[in-house]
């Protein structure tokens, strides 16, 4: 497999998982399913990025920096999104150091 094929493969799956992530926001599905899908999508995106970097022979120092960056991104994605139990909306918290307690849409209880 050539490098261009690997890059295409990586970009294809990255776009696929980003579309899945957006679907979790847009589609009105059960809140419990959203809570289960969200971490799987985030960890899958991180895995695809790290696997692509490994296959493309990133240097060890570059891979270590990428690993730290991906860990920070995963943490911020998992901590920065909340789910409203009442209306099923997924809320993005722009201030990661604070917590969201009520839904901006319906005023209902918000959980992580």
- DSSP β-bridge partners for residue 84: 110
Nearest-angstrom CA–CA distance, 66 and 61: 9
- DSSP β-bridge partners for residue 70: none
Question: Would you place residue 103 in the very low, low, confident or very high pLDDT band (cuts 50, 70, 90)?
Answer: confident
Q: pLDDT digit string (tens) for 55-100? A: 778 788 888 888 898 999 898 888 888 888 787 777 777 776 777 7
pLDDT at site 1:
58
Question: Would you place residue 20 in the very low, low, confident or very high pLDDT band (cuts 50, 70, 90)?
Answer: confident
Is 16 in contact with 51 (CB distance < 8 Å)?
no
Q: Which segments of the chain does DSSP mark as H helices, in order?
A: 3-26, 31-55, 60-79
3-state secondary structure of 95: coil
Mean pLDDT over each residue of the chain, to the nearest integer: 80
């Amino acid at each position: 497999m050539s490098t261009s094929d690997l890059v295409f493969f990586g970009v294809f799956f990255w776009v696929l998982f980003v579309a899945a992530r957006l679907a979790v926001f847009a589609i009105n599905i059960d809140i419990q399913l959203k809570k289960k899908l969200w971490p799987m999508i985030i960890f899958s995106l991180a895995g695809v990025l790290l696997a692509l970097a490994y296959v493309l022979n990133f240097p060890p120092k570059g891979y270590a920096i990428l690993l730290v960056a991906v860990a920070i991104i995963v943490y911020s994605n998992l901590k920065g999104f909340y789910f409203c139990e009442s209306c099923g909306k997924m809320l993005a918290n722009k201030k990661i150091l604070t917590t969201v307690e009520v839904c901006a849409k319906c005023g209902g209880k918000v959980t992580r």
